[in-house]
Amino acid sequence: VQLQASGGGLVQPGGSLRLSCEASGGTFSSWTVAWFRQAPGKERGFVAAVKRSGLSFVYADAVKGRFTISRDKVKNTVMLQMSSLEPEDTAVYFCAFRFGEVVVSAMRQEQQYGYWGQGTQVTVSS
């Protein structure tokens, strides 16, 4: 499985960005995809996750109401629409993939995901 993440960049506070993560190289009948992020000097942390079925959308408290995760089942692509961005959102964003769907509590756990994208930088600064 290969994950191609894109869409990062530089944006002013209050602005918006849209990240995409496309999965290829496998048979994708059931999966869960998550976004994690790592700011300089900090550990990587959970941002949002979604199941292919669309039955569950999970968000970190820090981004709830500002970020929206969505998926395109046909294209095996997951998008992260980020709005009202804050300097604290500055980080490298990673998409992560696993086959199959897990319980909601597990969707936040790094160890659930066996495939990771290369990371895309998001910088929020004036």
Q: What one-character-per-residue DSSP string does 70-120 give?
A: EEETTTTEEEEEE-S--GGG-EEEEEEEEES---GGGGG-GGG--EE---E
Q: In which band, very low, low, confident or very high, does the pLDDT at 70 lie, cut at 50, 70 and 90?
A: very high
What mean pLDDT do residues 98-103 have? 93
Average pLDDT, the chain: 95
| Averaged pLDDT for residues 71-98 | 96
Q: What is the pLDDT of residue 66?
A: 98
Side-chain half-sphere of 9: how many Cα atoms within 13 Å? 11
Burial of 45 (0-12, 13-18, 19+ CB in 10 A): middle
Average pLDDT over residues 30-39: 96
57-87 burial by CB neighbour count: b if 16+ within 10 A, else e? Answer: ebbbeebeeebbbebeeeebbbbbebeebee
pLDDT at 27: 77
> What is the mean pLDDT of the segment spanning 87-94?
98
- On the 0-12 / 13-18 / 19+ scale of CB atoms within 10 A, 119 is middle
Q: pLDDT-derived band of residue 88, with 50, 70 and 90 as boundaries? A: very high
Partners of residue 116 on adjacent β-strands? 96
Least confident of 25-29, 86-90, 119-123: 25-29
Q: How far apart are CA 60 and CA 81, in angstroms?
A: 14
